[in-house]
Every structure is written in structure tokens, then in C-alpha cells.
């Protein structure tokens, strides 16, 4: 396949690019190196495969419909994986207009470019945040998901609805993958596991919002990449699929696991709950298992140890 991958230099995008190149696909990466976090981190990610013979890269913004149209035509792509986004619940509360512009208008721009170039295969990143504080646990894809708690969650649900419209009107095959808190090497620095690890090694306090009882379904990056790859191979019609980890874990237990892996006790700065945060994420994976064969394999204990080992070798040694 010849795949246009938006957000190719980011955390998930760089891991996915490596995998797709390894199994023989051609990848055309797009990234705009925005300033949500240090763009230098993405430049480092890109070096891992920039010289690969089956990789091409274009620096640009997913909202640039003319550019996307040119890329799809020039490289004769047959499939698109859309990961580019303005990420983060709390950032979206601070900057809602930017979040909605990138995530909704950017997705619309991509869908229009695909329509114009007759590319009809799309796998796109959504988020477990679309479920809000759902009363149905574990979260199932047939939940209405109509009560988002943040602009980010709203933007991701809106992007799903846009994709369904293009499936209905133009025959697109679409898989919207609802990711559940992805972690692992090269994770974005503002995310909890990365931030806690950095603070613990530096002897600085970690900030916990609420009483530590919130719970998340953490998904190791390997499992997420396998889910995306399987979705590419099984694209047919329109689907919403949870791509989650083995089990949910509460925040106190997560901190304890990081403490054990780092070998230091955390100093905790307790703060009130933040607007937009949900109390629980929990993934029902039956549909993803039945439709694309998705089954996560990395338990949180192993995943945390792998992440901390990478951090020690790749970040502390710089």
C-alpha cells in the first residue's frame, strides 16, 4: 500500500511509520511540527526512518486542503491514516478554537482532498474521551457518546461524524479508532506517565488532580500500533472501534508502579480536579477483537518497566 500518514513525526505516528515500513508499505508522512510541545522531539523521531527508501515526507498542515490534494495525487496514495490533531483535554479547555479548527476543520480538509482524488480508504484516530463520564462500563462503541466534557472530546466525536458522512455520501471505507491513553517510548512530555517519570528522577513533586481514585485504561504503544495496522488490513464500510489496553488502573496504583520502576518515592502535590477530566476510562474490546482481530498483550506492569527503561537509556543519558 501507499499510505499518507498525517502526524507521522509524533509519538504514535513515528512508531506506526516504523512498523508500516518494516512490513513493506510505502509511507508518505505529513507533519507541521507545531509548538504544542518541543518540535525538536519530533525531529528526533523523524531521523529514525527519514532515509528509508519507502518513506517520503512533507512538512505541512492538515488544514491545507490544496497541499493534501497535491500529496495524494503526486504520490498516488491509496490509503490514509489520519493521526494529526491538536491533542489534550486541558489544552483544549484553554484553547478551544484552535483545538476545533485543527481537529474538525483539519479532518474536513483531509476528507475533501480524498474525495477529489478518489482515495476512499481511511483509518483515523479518535479518543476514549468521546464517552465522557458514561454510565455504561466498560465503554462500548454503541454508546451514544453525545455528552463530551471537553472541546477535545467534542472535536473527536465531530470528526467521527464527518467521516461517517463521507462514508455515506461518497462510499469511503472508514475505521475510527478510539484510543485509550497510549503510552510508551517517545510519549508526549505532558502526559502523566512521561511527566511523572521525569519529575521522580529529578526529585521534584508530581501533581495529582483529585484524590488519586480516577482510573484509566492505559494502552502500550505496541498494542496501539498493532490495532492500527489490523484496521488498515480490514477496512470495510464504516466502523467505530475501541483500541485499548489489557485493563484499567487507578492513578494511585499507576504512581506506585512508576515509583517501583524508577526506584524513588514520589513527592505528591495534591490539587483539585480539573475541568474536562473524566473519572474513568474502560474499554470493551469485543468489537475490535471480532472485526479486526485486535487483542492487547502488554500489561501495565510490563509497559511501565519498558517505558522507564527507555527513559533511563534515551533521555537521562542525553
Per DSSP, the residues of 136-168 read: SSSB-TTS-----SSHHHHHHHHHHHHHHHHHH
| Widest pairwise Cα distance in the chain | 56
Whether 152 is catalytic: yes
At 277 the pLDDT is 84
> Which domains, from first to last, does the chain contain?
2-182+218-244+282-297 (3.40.50.720)
Is the model's pLDDT at 253 over the cut of 60? Answer: yes
pLDDT, tens only, 129-144:
999 999 889 999 999 9
Q: Which residues pair with 80 in a beta bridge?
A: 4, 122
The arithmetic mean of pLDDT across residues 258-275, rounded, is: 93
Q: How confident is the model at residue 276 (pLDDT cuts 50, 70, 90)?
A: confident
Which one of 152, 166, 220, 294 is the catalytic residue? 152
Between helix 11-22 and helix 39-47 the angle, nearest 10°, is 10
pLDDT, tens only, 277-293:
888 999 999 999 999 99
Report the distance separating Cα 45 and Cα 188, nearest Å.
Answer: 12
Is the model's pLDDT at 148 over the cut of 80? Answer: yes
pTM: 0.96
At 316 the pLDDT is 78
pLDDT, tens only, 86-118:
998 989 999 999 999 999 999 999 999 999 999
At 318 the pLDDT is 53
At 278 the pLDDT is 86
Residue % of the chain over a pLDDT of 90 = 92
Amino acid at each position: 500500500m501507499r499510505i499518507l500518514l498525517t502526524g507521522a513525526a509524533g509519538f504514535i505516528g513515528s512508531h506506526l511509520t516504523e512498523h508500516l515500513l518494516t512490513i513493506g508499505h510505502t509511507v508518505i508522512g505529513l507533519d507541521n511540527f507545531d509548538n504544542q510541545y518541543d518540535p525538536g522531539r519530533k525531529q528526533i523521531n523523524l531521523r529514525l526512518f527519514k532515509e528509508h527508501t519507502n518513506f517520503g515526507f512533507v512538512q505541512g498542515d492538515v488544514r491545507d486542503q490544496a497541499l493534501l490534494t497535491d500529496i495524494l495525487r503526486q504520490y498516488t496514495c491509496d490509503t490514509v491514516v489520519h493521526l494529526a490533531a491538536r491533542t489534550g483535554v486541558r489544552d483544549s479547555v484553554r484553547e478551544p478554537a484552535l483545538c476545533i479548527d485543527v481537529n474538525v476543520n483539519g479532518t474536513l480538509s483531509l476528507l475533501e482532498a480524498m474525495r477529489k482524488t478518489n482515495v476512499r480508504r481511511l483509518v483515523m484516530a479518535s479518543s476514549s474521551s468521546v464517552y465522557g463520564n458514561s454510565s455504561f462500563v466498560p465503554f462500548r462503541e454503541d454508546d451514544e457518546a453525545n455528552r463530551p466534557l471537553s472541546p477535545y472530546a467534542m472535536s473527536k466525536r465531530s470528526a467521527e461524524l464527518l467521516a461517517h458522512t463521507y462514508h455515506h455520501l461518497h462510499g469511503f471505507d472508514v475505521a475510527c479508532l478510539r484510543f485509550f491513553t497510549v503510552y510508551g517510548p517517545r510519549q508526549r512530555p505532558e502526559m502523566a506517565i512521561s511527566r511523572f517519570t521525569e519529575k521522580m528522577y529529578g526529585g521534584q513533586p508530581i501533581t495529582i488532580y483529585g484524590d488519586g481514585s480516577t482510573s484509566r485504561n492505559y494502552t502500550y504503544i505496541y498494542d496501539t500500533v498493532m490495532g492500527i495496522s489490523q484496521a488498515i488490513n480490514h477496512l470495510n464500510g464504516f466502523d467505530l472501534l475501541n483500541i485499548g489496553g489489557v485493563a484499567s488502573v487507578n492513578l494511585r496504583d499507576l504512581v506506585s508502579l512508576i515509583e517501583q520502576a524508577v526506584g524513588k518515592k514520589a513527592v505528591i502535590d495534591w490539587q483539585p480536579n480539573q475541568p474536562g477530566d473524566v473519572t474513568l476510562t474502560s474499554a470493551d474490546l469485543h468489537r475490535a477483537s471480532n472485526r479486526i482481530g485486535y487483542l492487547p498483550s502488554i500489561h501495565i506492569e510490563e509497559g511501565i518497566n519498558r517505558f522507564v527503561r527507555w527513559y533511563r537509556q534515551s533521555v537521562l543519558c542525553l
